[in-house]
Amino acid sequence: PISQKVVKNRIAKAALTEGLSEPRQNNIPNDSHCELYRQWSNGGSGIIITGNVMVDRNCKEAPRNVILDEKTSDLMPFRRWANSIHQRDQDD
């Protein structure tokens, strides 16, 4: 094993295109991404895989994809997006 992490179940949220980023705001993750992933986390998935994250803004699958490339200077929106998954309601 690579790590000692254990997945709580075999339910996984597969990657998909959310289409929520704003081209006028540099296609970074936003509050809509955080809320959507928080809701999916509350649904009980053991694994949550993010949607399309483009690494070249000239080769996007869709105009509203998230982009992380050499022009992305602020990584905080990406950290907020990742952290939103761990902010699920702690019922168990």
The β-bridge relationship of strands 53-54 and 47-48 is unpaired
pLDDT, tens digit (0-9, with 9 covering 90-100), for 36-72: 999 999 998 899 999 889 999 999 999 999 999 998 8
pLDDT, tens digit (0-9, with 9 covering 90-100), for 4-40: 888 889 999 998 899 999 999 999 999 999 999 999 9
**What is the chain's Cα-based Rg?**
14
Determine the Cα–Cα distance for residues 22 and 24; give it in Å rounded to an integer: 5
Q: Please report the DSSP string for 14-51 in residue order.
A: ---------GGGTT---HHHHHHHHHHHHTT-SEE---
